[in-house]
Amino acid sequence: MKKIDTILFDLDGTLINTNELIIASFLHTLDHYFPNEYTREKVIQFIGPSLHDSFSGLLPDRVEEMIDMYRSFNHEKHDELVEEYETVKETVKALHEKGYKLAIVTTKRSDTARMGLKLTGLEPYFPVLVGIDNVEKVKPDPEPLLKALEQLGSSPERAIMVGDSQYDVLGGKNTGTLTAAVAWTIKGREFIEGYGPDVMLETMADLLSFLGEDSRG
């Protein structure tokens, strides 16, 4: 196996804690169309797939309208509800300084994803970001991962995909990269372990250990 020198990160629930923002955005939207029908527990199932996929299963004729309502609320509350995960910034900074090629692969729109990176101070480390508006198909299809790898000048056998959902793990497997799952996933550690990631990260700093790097220098 070639040395891993490329890391593809999911964004939401992986690098930045957008769980409360996403849950609030879904509840706001769904309560408008289905008053008092959806609880916090029920909307967790919608985290991971694209908004289009989530909403098309509910009201196929009003998907774009629902997406607009979700995004409007999401942008309005973004800076108020987004939080950082411990060791993420230090780990990403260390990887950048060690020369790793870094990219974001997300089912968010790229402009919204940049908002999160900017808010948490991560933007300088990610020259490549592949959002839902940059692809025809989303994870677990390999297209977005391959697009990121191409822009970085890298290849699957040199890369690892890091994420918090089954779509990230399956996307990595379908592309031919190694895969890392984060133990802080809102879907639960056991759920994500069931998809067989190559490594489970207790904190993001564990990624340095997995790659054989000393986190101190």
pLDDT one-digit tens code per residue, 163-206: 999 999 999 999 999 999 999 999 899 999 999 999 999 999 99
Least confident stretch, 39-48, 115-124, 153-162: 39-48
Backbone angles phi and psi of 94, in degrees to 5: -60, -45
> 107 is written with which tokens?
């089912």
Model pLDDT, residue 2: 66
Q: Which CATH superfamily is domain 19-81 in?
A: Putative phosphatase; domain 2 (1.10.150.240)
Largest distance between two CA atoms of the chain? 54
Hey, where are the domains in the chain?
6-17+83-210, 19-81
Identical fold between 6-17+83-210 and 19-81: no
Question: Is residue 10 annotated as part of the catalytic site, yes or no?
Answer: yes
Catalytic residue, chosen from 10, 12, 164, 168, is 10
Tell me the angle at which helices 63-81 and 110-119 cross, rounded to the nearest 10 degrees. Answer: 10
pTM: 0.92
Contact 153, 5 (CB under 8 A): no
- What pLDDT does residue 215 have? 52
59 half-sphere exposure, CB direction, 13 A CA radius: 12
* pLDDT tens digits, one per residue of 57-104: 999 999 999 999 999 999 999 999 999 999 999 999 999 999 999 999
Domain 6-17+83-210 CATH assignment equals 3.40.50.1000? yes
